[in-house]
Every structure is written in C-alpha cells, then in structure tokens.
Chain A
Amino acid sequence: MLRALLLTLSVVAIAHAELCKPDAQNAFKVRISIKTALGDNAYAWDANEEYLFKAMVAFAMRRYSSKSTTQISNVLLCNVTDRVSFWFVVTDSSKNVTTVPGSEVEAAIRMYRNRINSAFLLNDKTLQFLKITSTLSPPVEPSTPVWLIVFGVVLCLIVAGIVFLIVSGIQKHKKKNKESTERDNLEEKVEVTLENGIPCEALDLKAGHINGVFAADDERFTSL
C-alpha cells in the first residue's frame, strides 16, 4: 500500500518535473520585485506566498473558462530563485499529463491581472509575466483642457485691466478739459478793462502806480 503510494507520488513528481521546467511548452516565467514595490514593508517570499500565487492563477483560470475543474494542485511552480523569479505551468486534470495551452493561460491572466496584482500589493511592473504584455491605461483627460480654463482667467484679467486704464484715462482727460475751460471762463471774467496793460482793479486797490520811466531819475527832482 505504502509502496504503491510512493510509486504514484514519484510518477507524479517526475511528470510534474517534465511539465514545469524553464522554457517548457506553455510555461511562463514570473519575476517579482517585492522590495522595489514595498521598500520597508516588503514581505518575504515563502511557500505560503507560492500557495497564494497558485490559488490566484487557479482563480483566474476558473473564472476565464467558467468551468470549476482547475484546482490549486493544477498549477505547478518550479525553479524558484532568490531574485524571486519562477516558472509556472497549468495542467489539465481532464487530460492526463498535459498543460493548458499558453494562449488560454495568457488570456485568463490578462483579464484578471488587476486582481492578481492586488493580492500581492504589486503592480504590472513589479509582478511581471514575461511573455504577457499588459494593456496600457490611457492617461486621464478632463473634459475641458485645464489650460483653457487658466487661459480664460488670465485673458479676463488683462481685458479688465486694459478697459479700466482706458476708461480712467478718458475720465482724467475729460476732467482736465473741464478744468481748463473753467479756468478760461474765470479769466474772461477777470479780464475787464485794461489801462496801459494794467487792469483797473489793481489801480483801484493801490493809491496810484509808480511809472518806472520817471522813478529812476530821483535826484533830478527835489524831494517833497
């Protein structure tokens, strides 16, 4: 009984070794960079993490092909290195000792890539499936380009400034014009009669006006 069990186990192991080896058919290499992604919060890669990985791949396969025949034991991991890189392959329980075609595995993983990444707190760059390309997400574009909004604000400020300056300039001009016409009107009232170029009010205020032509020759006249 025990011998039979050991024999089946060894057969299975050899079969597995045949199926999962580097560059085997339908096998994929995975490369994980935990320290790059998480820094100080990095967890160690051990057998439990491997179990989670097998579970996630099995989940993806079950979801993708919608048949619940894929078990965790169908996912085989091998050649785990210190880098944390390994090869994996998905076997088909219904057909003995064969692997699920690579295209199916690829499609399944692509569809649920996000779920697999989140399980390990990694992203497309730090959990790499070497032959599976990831679809790039388009950059987020807001409905109105931001620059148009900023441009609108700047333009409004400038137009407001120009209008303000022009209007204040016109108002200043009008005020100056009004002032100068007022001054002109005032002067017209002031300019009454002129005698010899001297307004009569000046004559009235002072007691006469000294005529400069005669004032110079003081000595010729006797003082009063």
Chain B
Amino acid sequence: MNAGETCRSCRLRWEESRVSDYGVSHGACRVDVFAFLQLLARLEARRCLKDIEPRLFLRPVYLIQWRDLYLCVSGKTELLYHLLCRCVLPEAAGGLEVDALFVDTDYSLDMLRLVSILDSRLSSAGLEEAALRSSLSRLLVVHCSSSSQLLLTLHYLETTLNSRPSLALLLIDSISAFYWLDRCEGGASISRQEEKLSKCAELLGRLLRDYKFTIFATCHTIRRSSSGLAASRSSTLEADRPYLCRPWQRLVTHRVLCSRQEAENHTAGGSREEKRQVFGVHCSSSSSRTKASRISPFCVTDAGVQFI
C-alpha cells in the first residue's frame, strides 16, 4: 500500500505518515498476520480521519471473535492484552491513544498483568508514571454477572458511546461465559436457550451500524480436540466449530484462532538452552475470498506478546 493510494476495503486514503509508522516495528508491536494488519490499519486510518473531520465518526465495522483451541493455555489472553495496550498507550510508546471498554463476564481480567505489560512498554519508550495513569484512565471496565445484565449493560453502552467519542474499542471477555447457564435456563427449547445471546447480538449489530467502532469478543472452547496439538492445519480449522447462536455467527466478520504449538528450543544468550512456549495465531475473515492460511507464531515475554 503506497501513500496516496486508496485502500479498497475501507475506501480511506492512506497518509504518508501512517504508512511509515506501519512499516516500522514498534518493538513488541510488530504484527504479521494479514487481517490484523488490515484491522490495525483501519484503526490508525480512522484516527487520522478524525483529525481531518472530527464530527464524522467513521470507524471500522469489525466484530472479531477469538477462539482458543486445545485447552486454556493458548496465549489468547496475552494477545488480548497486547491489543488492549496498543489501543490505550500514548503515541510515543507506540499506541493509538483511544478509549477502550472491557466487558468482563467471568472475572478474567488480570489487572496486575495488564499494568505490568503497560509499564514495561512505557519504560522501554522512556515515559514516566503519569503516562501509566493516563493510559489506564482510557480503559473502562464493566463487570457483568449474568447474560441479562450483559444485555442491559449493552443497552446502556449507547449512552457511554455518546458521552465518550474517543471510545473506539469494545472488548468482551468472554461472550461464551453464560453459554451453559443459558442453555440450562432455556429448558428444552433451543430458541429460549439462545434468546439472550441473540438479543445481545442484534443489539451489538445495531450499535455497530450506528456508531461504527470495533468489537473483539473471546469465545472459549467447550470441546477438547481429540488429537491434542495437531500439526495439520485442516484439523485446526475443523476443531473450531462454532457453537454460539446464529445471530452472533452472522455478526462475526473475522475469526482468530489461537493455539499452542510445540515448545521450541531457544538459546538464551548463553550456553543454556531453554524451551520457550510458542503460540500461533490464525486469522480468517468471512469477507475475504482467500483464507489467510498462515499461522503466525508468537511467544509471551514479560513485556507481553512478541511475534516471532
């Protein structure tokens, strides 16, 4: 993508500064996955567009669903924190300085870990304590304890979106937290079981159309893959069978799968070889014809996710 060209998908013009920011790696923020590139580009492009026309809320319309395979340890949470940090950090540290709303449905937000990632990125950029406070103040956290409360909170989200125009990202972790509770409450009828999540999905669809922000939602695996750490890609995709309701599946535009790969040997600056846990992320989009079939590996360090 050259400066001055128009991006085919979002029809926004690339500014030269954005292209140069984009090509250079910001330390831990180098992203290799194609759909991620597109997404982050859109976030950046939206920001520069806001500078040109502040009253025009043209934000990308993406709903990204994360799944993890093969058990809980798949680096999914780390990737989420990586993206969250990228949004709230100041520009000097490689962030986008936008507000983010984190909807926590199962008390899985580890604030201490998030702050340690923010801290290490800020200190490597040479910024002080005050920058940490301002980054944290850009993050809003809501906790929901049932799917009814989630529905009501999403209704209230409209007010929040109006009052905070810099809110560009909604993170839901996780949308599948109440799946079993709803299934049991719904009894034998599947439509009653899926009723609440369908209403949430419809509401989110309407909000996305009106306000055009980005949503990331994580979704847990409920079935263990019987082949364990599969080497073949086809079984990776087969194991990701969607189980949430249809309105939600229709809303999702990008699917990201995180999985754990074999730990590789890594010589850590001395004679001692260490095994480093490597995770892989695979992104597929419902709009693109060709599926991005690469699995981008990353590992987790103290400063968060580092793509290899």
State whether these chains interact.
no
Q: List residues of A whose CB falls within 8 A of some B CB.
A: none
Q: List residues of B whose CB falls within 8 A of some A CB.
A: none
